[in-house]
Amino acid sequence: MRIDGISSEIEIVRSRRKTMSAEIEPDGKVIVRAPLKLPMRDIESFLNEKSRLIEKHVRKHIAENDALSETRPFTPAEIRKMADMAAEIIPRRVEYYAELMGISYNRITIRNQKTRWGSCTSEGNLNFNCLLVMTPPEVLDSVVVHELCHRIHPNHSKAFYDAVYKVFPDYDRCDKWLKENGRLLIRRMTGE
């Protein structure tokens, strides 16, 4: 399917959903998710209405993909050095924020993760990606606060985010930084 103003291939995926959405894959392909019985003219109308915004995101994804293809992977020695740095820095940040928030935790583990920046188990164990030492310090702190707040709220409810913002009002900016730059770091970790 082609729509004027959108330079990429468009794929329509129908399912038992009630709303329509468009997502851009890393290669710039546009996936439109639509209700099963929605007429094609409504989908085309949606795409025409959103074509400028979709094309902007397509170009951004293609540019990011080009940048990613030009970066070299971290060497095993670099990954070990990051893990060592993270093992030194992250526990201190966890201790600082845990005391500030009055929250307890169990074990801290530093990992070379390919998809997550951090996690918190029901037993209170905290896991962090060693790549966090490659982010700005406030971004690392935002992940620490996020995981510690899971000790109070084991979900992503409004109450959870209220707790995060109470301690870390600048959380959204840091989360945005990770969404915009984290893929490059993970790509350098995995080499993929």
Supply 38's token pair: 């929605």
Q: Which residues of the chain have pLDDT under 70?
A: 1-7, 26, 64-70, 190-192
Whole-prediction pTM: 0.68
Residues 110 and 176 in one domain: yes
Residues 64 and 80 in one domain: no
pLDDT given for residue 134 in this prediction: 93
Residue 49 belongs to a domain:
yes
DSSP state of 74: P
How, if at all, do strands 118-120 and 30-35 pair? unpaired
> Per residue in 111-138, pLDDT tens?
988 889 999 999 999 999 999 999 999 9
Kindly provide the residue ranges of all beta strands, DSSP E only, lying in 36-76, ordered along the sequence: none
Token pair 């995060």 is found at: 164
Domain that holds residue 31: 10-69
Distance separating alpha carbons of residues 72 and 192, to the nearest angstrom? 10
Supply 49's token pair: 């209405």
Specify whether the CB–CB gap between 62 and 178 falls below 8 A: no
Residues 48 and 111 in one domain: no
Specify whether the CB–CB gap between 128 and 154 falls below 8 A: no
Residue 4 belongs to a domain:
no
Residues 183 and 92 in one domain: yes
Domain count, the chain: 2
